[in-house]
């Protein structure tokens, strides 16, 4: 397996902002020089997918930060996604590095995700409700302060399965994983379950190892949990597709369709040739995806790319409609700031793109945060397992 050229296809929402780690908002509000404002404006006027609708006359004095600038230039609707990062923020994302505790929580401080190998991993669990932090009632302010207090132990009081308990976690700089896999033995079948949180470039080695285990277990069904996967690299998505099926060497997975002025930048991603297959690839005839409205971009690309080959009835989505982001961006740098403006539309081999309303679910299921991801009793996974047994939704 080799990693193909990477282009960003990312919905920059859930994972970058909700897991108790710094997102360097201060960097996004750094004052900009006039030359940078003009540079980004030119990107929108030329490379942007909806360039014809961008205002040509802009008062550069009306904004001063990166966030204000992006919001001034982009066309909304349909653009919900153009954004910028500092070069360090991007490198940390690509290399799966950050700092803090490593969990995401809802408005009631109930955890819905814990990053794999983060400081909170195997200490705090999905479904835990945080009550106190260091003996004080928990607030967004004191949680944020604690997460930034690197290498200082924090004591949480929490409610788990109706029982109040305490747990200590020390926020730190850390590298995390985005994938976990296991084989579920059920009714004489070996079923592969892959939790996959983000299409980072460095995650290919992770899922290569997992698919090697799946191959050795002779799995007959594959479930991929992308309920919180906001996207990432197109090259990584292509590599994941290669691992899912080796039955279509050299066939087109997707192509990236730029605006009419940049058709020379259109690009095709294809299934790897037989010469590049390393033996751990599966040959799935159907695949189950666990999805929510947070499943975006590269997640939707994988689902869309498989449909022309496996057929819609064999690409089964469990949960809700996906996010609805059929577009992506290549990224341009200026003064150590990376600008990801929407550049292209993603089309599958049937020239079809993901609807802006998202990919509809085959079977409706709620995201049951009362159970850990991968627990057979969790509603989304339980629905997929029921479908495997009965060939229909519950």
Q: How far apart are CA 102 and CA 87, in angstroms?
A: 21
pLDDT score of 70 more than 90: yes
Rounded Cα distance between 184 and 219, Å, is 9
Q: Which domain holds residue 109?
A: 101-175
Say if 3 falls within a structural domain.
no
Give yes or no: residues 137 and 200 share one domain.
Answer: no
pLDDT in tens, 148-170: 999 999 999 999 999 999 999 99
Residue in the structure block whose two tokens are 């997102």: 23
**Residues 23 and 105 both lie in one domain:** no
> What is the predicted pLDDT for the residue at 28?
57
Q: Which of 156, 160, 185, 157 is nearest to 169 (CA)?
A: 156
**Phi then psi dihedrals of residue 27, to 5 deg:** -65, -35
Q: Please indicate, yes or no, whether residues 60 and 202 belong to a single structural domain of this protein.
A: no
Question: Are both 75 and 187 inside the same structural domain?
Answer: no
Residue 234 belongs to some domain of the structure: yes
State the chain's mean pLDDT as an integer. 92
Both tokens assigned to 43: 């990107």
Q: How many residues does the chain have?
A: 394
Same domain, 144 and 53: no
Question: What is the domain count for the chain?
Answer: 3
Residue 11's pLDDT band (cuts 50, 70, 90):
very low
Q: Does residue 10 register a pLDDT over 80?
A: no
Q: Is the pTM of this model over 0.85?
A: yes
The pLDDT tens digits of the residues spanning 277-334 come to: 999 999 999 999 999 999 999 999 999 999 999 999 999 999 999 999 999 999 999 9
Q: H or E segment at 214?
A: helix 204-216
Nearest to 4 by CA among 286, 243, 350: 243
Residues 351 and 317 in one domain: yes
Residues 235 and 378 in one domain: yes
pLDDT digits (tens, 9 = 90+) for 99-155: 999 999 999 999 999 999 999 999 999 999 999 999 999 999 999 999 999 999 999
Q: Is residue 164 part of a domain?
A: yes
Residue 261 forms part of a structural domain: yes
pLDDT at residue 27, as a whole number: 53
């Amino acid at each position: 397996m080799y990693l193909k050229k990477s282009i960003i296809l990312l919905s920059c929402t859930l994972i970058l902002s909700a897991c108790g780690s710094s997102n360097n908002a201060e960097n996004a509000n750094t004052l900009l020089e006039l030359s940078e404002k003009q540079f980004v404006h030119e990107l929108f006027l030329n490379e942007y997918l909806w360039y014809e609708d961008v205002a040509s006359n802009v008062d550069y004095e009306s904004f001063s930060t990166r966030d204000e600038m992006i919001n001034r230039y982009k066309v909304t609707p349909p653009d919900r996604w153009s954004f910028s990062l500092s070069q360090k923020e991007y490198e940390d994302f690509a290399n799966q590095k950050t700092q803090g505790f490593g969990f995401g929580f809802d408005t009631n401080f109930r955890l819905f995700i814990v990053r794999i190998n983060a400081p909170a991993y195997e200490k705090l669990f999905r479904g835990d409700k945080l009550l106190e932090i260091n003996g004080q009632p928990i607030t967004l302010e004191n949680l944020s302060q604690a997460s930034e207090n690197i290498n200082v132990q924090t004591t949480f009081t929490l409610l788990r399965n109706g029982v109040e308990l305490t747990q200590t976690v020390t926020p730190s700089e850390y590298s995390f994983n985005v994938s976990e896999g296991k084989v579920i033995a059920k009714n004489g079948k070996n079923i592969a379950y892959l939790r996959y949180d983000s299409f980072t470039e460095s995650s290919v080695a992770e899922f290569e190892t997992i698919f090697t285990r799946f191959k050795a277990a002779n799995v007959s069904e594959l479930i991929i949990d992308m309920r919180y996967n906001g996207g990432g690299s197109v090259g990584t998505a292509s590599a994941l597709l290669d691992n899912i099926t080796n039955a279509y060497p050299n066939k087109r997975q997707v192509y990236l369709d730029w605006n009419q002025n940049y058709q020379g930048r259109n690009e095709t991603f294809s299934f790897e040739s037989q010469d590049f297959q390393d033996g751990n690839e599966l040959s799935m005839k159907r695949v189950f995806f666990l999805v929510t409205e947070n499943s975006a971009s590269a997640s939707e690309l994988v689902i869309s790319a498989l449909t022309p080959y496996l057929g819609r009835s064999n690409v089964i989505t469990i949960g809700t409609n996906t996010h609805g982001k059929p577009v992506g961006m290549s990224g341009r740098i200026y003064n150590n700031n990376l600008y990801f403006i929407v550049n292209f539309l993603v089309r599958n081999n049937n020239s079809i793109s993901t609807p802006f309303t998202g990919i509809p679910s085959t079977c409706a299921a709620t995201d049951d945060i009362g159970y850990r991801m991968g627990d057979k009793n969790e509603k989304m996974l339980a629905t997929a397992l029921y479908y495997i047994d009965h060939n229909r939704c519950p």
